[in-house]
Structure 1
């Protein structure tokens, strides 16, 4: 609390064996304060500073009794120390993927805010120390870092620039520009740049909240975010024949004895015939499947199991165990599935059974199917099923493209967008904006209606009759 009501009293000498001198003063309604000095000259100097500040009209802090001009300057906080404090604050409540993104952004910005100091470690060692140790909240039982990492982090602590450096528009712009690159120096995807910018903005908002910065530096510069393409490229969408050939090719991957591909045919079929996300299909449990002998069945989706890495989950598991995307925890989504997918899932269960926890899909050891596993199988299947020209094209380049093919084919078949959105777990707005370019026939319909409006069909027929 501040006050302009200041009263400074005369210096008082204490008559001890070794004399001392007290300066006493009072700020507002707070109790009187005093400072003791060994000599009268030091006491006079301190008292004179108090009087000058009061005469200048400076506000005095009622707790310390000092004006701003006499308040000791706080030790400058470095970016590195602030970043570690921010990570420690966010870590316990952040999802594994968010922890990964937080770690990546803090590592990237830290490498940009280092002064030129002797003994700089090699770039790969620097990145490994920051990404693997500095910005990971580890349990006390975790291994201690190697000597090379310890020395690197000690150097970073000394070389890190002050957090206040970012108050300079040129410096914050330089940091923002660095977000356009990955840690290896390659160009980052537009969505990645947006995500890292959001992490940085939130971190600096926390610095303002703590009082370390007067305002968020990101708002000081006009920095243009790259545009993100949200529409699905229609070139990735397979037709029913191509989808059938790809699923057939999956069954040949790895040979019959290892069954590496056959274990995953039903997984990919869930993406194409049910419109599931890959992480949703991986988490699918047999008790949540209704698979009748004839007719349509249904799937109850509740969980997703994305591959994120042990470093980020905090549980020692590679896969996160989380709810559905864009839904509250434990909320479910019911997806009707056609008879063909019902038959595929029944055949899969009969041949491979289920994992101990009821999951339909498991690797040879019963564990969760890793994204790297089904990506490798899918890549081999594309080379088996597609022509060299198609393999080089974007056609079904990713397993996720099977979901794109499912949703766009449903919309093209005339299924109500609200129903498609419900099955897909999207909003209608997002659904239509993403798949606008994948809807076939709309241009022909529009052309025909415009022609009818202009009466051009009749005119064209007359012209053709004249020529004949």
Structure 2
């Protein structure tokens, strides 16, 4: 199996149980070492294009197989699958040396700045006690206030429909700001999603409001 195909399978395995930040961290780590597993020749795609294709498409389980995949990106990913070294190449000394260079140097080839000592040893801190933090109810809008706020957001020119879908999704489903990446293919709900009475009239959020 090629290194590229193995990393895609690894991303797919982790995807369902990983948070957005964990997915990004995994992608960045795999992108960092990819140069050690691809040939360097005049026919190879530009390194910048390879990194972009990996970050935005290859290491995104949902987008890699979507119909939105641009043709130029598809060509880069097919090249990676065909020409990246097999996994067993990690047993070779040359590949190990490339891996060492990949994780100790910046993208411009220069080494990372050395650190003489661990600065964390000089920092004194006390971990926050667990179980003592409580949500201040005064800072959280109640359902009536939330519906009123959403109704006001909807009236904002141009961005109102998309903004109300974003904030309503966060409020009613307790999603974090990663809700900005929510797409129609992530939803399996009837249209409209909800219709609740609020001061000034009903709030109707349609799937059309979700990008």
TM-score (norm 2): 0.53
> Matches of 1:112 and 1:307 in 2, distance apart?
35
Residue-by-residue CA offset, 1:85-123 (whole Å, 9 max, x unaligned): 111111111222221111011112222211234521222
Give the deviation of 1:158 after TM superposition: 2.0
Distance (whole Å) between structure 2 residues aligned to residue 189 and residue 95 of structure 1: 30
Whether 2:54 is the aligned partner of 1:164: answer no
- 1:92 aligns to 2:16 (yes or no): yes
Which residue in 2 is equivalent to 1:286? 136
The residue aligned with 1:345 is none
2:46 to 93, 97, 122: 122
Superposition map of 1:384-463 within 5 A? none
Residues of 1 paired with 2:103 and 2:64: CA distance?
32
Larger radius of gyration: 1
CA deviations on 1:352-387 (whole Å, 9 max, x unpaired) are xxxxxxxxxxxxxxxxxxxxxxxxxxxxxxxxxxxx
**Matched residue SS, 1:145:** coil
Counting matched residue pairs gives 141
Contact preservation (8 Å) 1:91, 1:99: yes
Question: 1:286 Cα shift?
Answer: 3.5
What's the offset of the Cα at 1:159? Answer: 1.8
* Alpha carbons of structure 1 residues 310 and 229: separation in structure 2 relative to 1, 3 Å: farther
CA contact (8 A) 2:33 2:99 kept: yes
| 1:132-166 per-position Cα deviation (integer Å, ceiling 9, x unaligned) | 11111116895522222111112222220111110
Tell me whether 1:177 sits opposite 2:101 in the alignment: yes
Q: Which runs of 5 or more residues in structure 1 are unaligned?
A: 1-76, 191-225, 235-274, 277-283, 290-304, 317-468
Would you say the 8 A contact 2:57–2:64 is kept in 1?
no
Q: Does the CA-based 8 Å contact 1:107-1:131 persist in structure 2?
A: yes
State the alpha-carbon separation in 2 of the partners of residues 107 and 114 from structure 1: 11
The residue matched to 1:179 in structure 2 has which SS? Answer: helix
Counterparts of 2:37 and 2:87, CA distance in 1: 9
Alignment of 1:155 with 2:50, yes or no, is no
Q: 1:100 to 1:185 in 2, by over 3 A?
A: farther
- Say which structure is richer in helix: 2
| Displacement after TM superposition at 1:169 (Å) | 3.5
Return the alpha-carbon distance in structure 2 between the equivalents of residues 151 and 110 of structure 1: 17
Task: Show structure 2 runs of 5+ residues with no match.
Answer: 129-133, 140-174, 184-211
Which of 91, 95, 120 is equivalent to 1:230? 120
Q: 1:140 to 1:104 in 2, by over 3 A?
A: closer
Give the RMSD, CA atoms, in angstroms: 3.9
- What are the equivalent positions in structure 2 for 1:47-446 lying under 5 Å apart? 77-138=1-62, 142=66, 144-183=68-107, 228-231=118-121, 285-287=135-137, 315=182
Q: Is the 8 A contact 1:115 1:160 kept in 2?
A: yes
Provide the rounded CA distance (Å) in 2 between the counterparts of 1:111 and 1:92.
Answer: 27
Residues 170 and 117 of structure 1, relative CA distance in 2, 3 Å threshold:
closer
Alpha-carbon spacing, 1:143–1:114, altered in 2? closer, same or farther (3 Å) = same
Shift of 1:174: 2.4
Change (3 A) 1:82 1:285: same
